[in-house]
Amino acid sequence: MTQIETQSLRIERTYDAPLARVRAALTEPKLLAKWFAPAPMTAHVHACDARVGGQYEISMVGKDPEGNDATHTATGTFTEVGPRRVAMTFNWSEQPLPNETTLAFDLEETKAGTRLVLTHGGFPNQEAATLHTEGWEGCLAKLPQAL
C-alpha cells in the first residue's frame, strides 16, 4: 500500500524474512548496496555509521532518462537506531532539497514475515514527494535481494 499526503509519503511492504534480517538490510553497508537504488541504478555505500548521530552517504549510480550518466548521493544522520525502527535525516548532495527531510523505517513481525513501513516527510511540495515515492518503490522492489 502506498499513500502520499501533502509533503510526505508512506509505503508499506511485507517481506518473507525475519525482522532481524530486514533491520540488517537497513543498517549494514553490504546489504544496503544491494537495494538502496531503484533499478537499473546501483548503490555505492560510502559511509554508514548506523548509530544515533552517525552519518551515512550512499550514491545511486546509473543513467538518467536521456541515457546520460547520473549520480544521486543521499546523505544524512541517523536519529534513531532501534530493533524495530531506523530513522534518519535525508538530503541530496548534488541537488539538495531546500531542507533536510525525515526518513523512518518501522518494522513489525507478522505471520507472513516482516512488515516494513517507510515514512519520508518534509518535502517542499507534492511534486517532490511524488518523485521520491517512485524512487522508494523502485528501491523496495529490490530489497528482497538483500534478504
pLDDT of residue 55: 98
Instruction: Write the pLDDT tens digit of every residue in 3-20.
Output: 444 589 999 999 999 999
- State the pTM of this model: 0.92
Instruction: Write the pLDDT tens digit of every residue in 26-56.
Output: 999 999 999 999 999 999 999 999 999 999 9
Mean pLDDT of 126-133: 90
pLDDT of residue 79: 98
Report which of 2, 28, 1, 145 is spatially closest to residue 86, judged by C-alpha positions.
28
CATH 3.40.50.2000 describes domain 2-146: no
Mean pLDDT of 61-77: 89
Q: Grid coordinates in use for 129? A: 514527494
- 510526505: which residue's cell? 8
Determine contact, residues 38/139, Cβ cutoff 8 Å: yes
